[in-house]
Amino acid sequence: MMHKLTNFKLTSAAIVIAATITTSGCEQKTDTKVEQSVQTAYSTADVEIFLDQTGKELERLNNEGSTIEWIYQNFITDDTAALSAAAAQEYSEAGVKFALAAAKFDQVEVSAEQRRKLNILKQALVLPAPQDPEKSAELATIAAELGGMYGKGSYTNAKGEKLSLGQLSATMAKSRNYEELLDAWQGWRTIGPDMKPLFVREVELANEGAQGLGYPDLGAMWRSNYDMSADEFATELDRLWGQVKPLYDALHCHVRAELGEHYGEDKVPQDEAIPAHLLGNMWAQSWGNVYDLVAPEDADPGYDVTEQLLKHEYSEIDMVKGAENFFTSLGFEQLPESFWQRSLFTKPEDRDVVCHASAWNLDAKDDIRIKMCIQKTGEEFSTIHHELGHNFYQRAYKDQPVYFQGSANDGFHEAIGDTIALSVTPAYLKEIGLIDSIPDESKDIGLLMKMALEKVAFIPFGLLVDQWRWKVFNGEITPENYNTAWWELREKYQGVKAPIARAATDFDPGAKYHVPGNVPYSRYFLAHILQFEFHKSLCEITGNEGSINRCSIYNNKDAGAKLNQVLEMGASQPWQQAHKVITGSEQMDASAILDYFAPLKVWLDQKNQNRQCGF
């Protein structure tokens, strides 16, 4: 995960051109004819002054906000929480003012680069506030309250035990008791009903804010952030999903059959969607925790990275140094000394911190860091490679204007990190001395199954979260149908169903952080498509002639140079151009996933021959 402030935050001092916004941030009552004449009076020179002064303000506020958030997540107190909240409020309020100011130049003839900067500012807001101080304050309060309700959420079971999400998730991952899993699943969703009325009002206010910026609704505003029209973007996601669906359907069929064998077909009917509490994850979004129930026979690759890290006496720092070596082998410069001095690698004993792995850049230049409570496991070793992918991306685009210091689209940043993680293969592990030999290719089915349970299983969930929200934002899904529509989409795309009847008063979408947290979700769908495309294309540069899943780009300077070319572009060009640099095409293509998992698909089709598939 990359930490990035998601809304431009600006003080009114930066808004020097917008005629209808005063230096105090209040809207003036202006006659429409006067407004139109002022707008047509703007010049290219006005735009340049606006962008220049705003850029300076953006740099200051982004750096200050990142520093405050770093302190808060590393030293969690009431005081640091207050500082974080104040910075977020300033960020959001000023972002609205700035988006409005940028819209004043819609009819001015400007260069392509200037237009791109203005559009980025207009589309940067995730939750635009209405142009009314009282409503703006109400929206900020609701957003904070929803986030707090999720963060403080817990479930007290029949034994009187108060259980956190972490504890409930551990049960979901490890338990094989049907009723115990059902209790944990149902228990976490008790946080939802109280969220619903707040969410309904939040949608009303955010839609008003989006309409004030010229969009039909908030969903259209989110979809307009991809260098294509909102409708074209939605169509593109459906096309990509259509490519992946046959692979997903085969995986679903096998997993359902194995779960039916374990729990009984009375609990897992073989002609219906899978009960959502049986897939090892609180949201059934990834299924890696049920690998032991669905694993191929004799698929053990013969090594365990966690055991090898212990055997070779790797420390947490050694794990990070090892991942850094991956990037230097591609031709990237070493991480700065400040990275090692300022990052958080292990959980402190004397204080609470946010342990969720994340990558940071605190000065838009070289102050890059990671924040992790590293566990010495194979999974964490791969995660470190992913996080450093973010850091090297951040450093690569540091010389771009502040407007372009980001990824080509919001899916790229996650995709780059995951692309690197795909190269943590047995061949790579042997080359760095962690294992002694590369397992026979027949052992790949187990490794591919583990990967598919995490990656392929996630793809329809990555699509449907925003499918639901877009329909909520445009009014197609009304509040009384929030929960019903949620489960209709879960069944349609995932073949997953609620294990018990759900009421209209339930609000199960609220049990997923990104809904009350207002985090757009399509980026994760895109990342799961892009990472396999990038991996395949970079492997072709290395001259790889074997299976794509066995390829690692480690130690290949040509692949590193091509990767760096994209990273240095940042957000300066439409994402299609960055995509073309690596893949040779401006259009995304999910067939790379099919190529990667081709051996597994053959195996799944054989296993599913006499099974009833589909949902």
Integer Cα distance of 604 and 453 in angstroms = 13
Integer Cα distance of 496 and 261 in angstroms = 17
Mapped onto helix, strand or coil, the DSSP state of residue 274 is strand
Strand partners, 164: 154
Place of tokens 């925003």: 466
SS (H, E, C) 465-531: HHHHHHHHHCCCCCHHHHHHHHHHHHHHHHCEECCCCCCCCCCHHHHCCCCCCCCCCHHHHHHHHHH
Mapped onto helix, strand or coil, the DSSP state of residue 370 is strand
SS (H, E, C) 215-237: CCCHHHHHHCCCCCCHHHHHHHH
561 is catalytic: no
579 is catalytic: no
380 is catalytic: no
Q: Across the chain, which distance is largest between two alpha carbons, in Å? A: 77
Active-site residue identified among 41, 356, 480, 561: 356
Dihedral sign of CA atoms 575, 581, 587, 591 in order: negative
Active-site residue identified among 145, 514, 540, 598: 514
Active-site residue identified among 85, 170, 295, 357: 357
535 is catalytic: no
Q: Which among 482, 467, 496, 515 has a CA at the least distance from the CA of 285?
A: 496
Write out the two tokens for 33.
Answer: 């004819």
390 is catalytic: yes
Active-site residue identified among 521, 524, 554, 596: 524
Yes or no: say if 496 and 464 are a contact pair by the CB < 8 Å rule. Answer: no
Output phi, psi for 277, to 5 deg.
-90, 0
356 is catalytic: yes
Active-site residue identified among 387, 454, 491, 533: 387
277 is catalytic: no
Angle at which helix 378-396 crosses helix 410-421, to 10 degrees, equals: 130
Dihedral sign of CA atoms 461, 467, 471, 474 in order: positive
Yes or no: say if 601 and 608 are a contact pair by the CB < 8 Å rule. Answer: no
Mapped onto helix, strand or coil, the DSSP state of residue 414 is helix
Active-site residue identified among 390, 528, 535, 579: 390
Integer Cα distance of 344 and 302 in angstroms = 33
DSSP 276: G
Integer Cα distance of 455 and 596 in angstroms = 11
261 is catalytic: no
Residues labelled catalytic? 356-357, 386-387, 390, 414, 514, 524
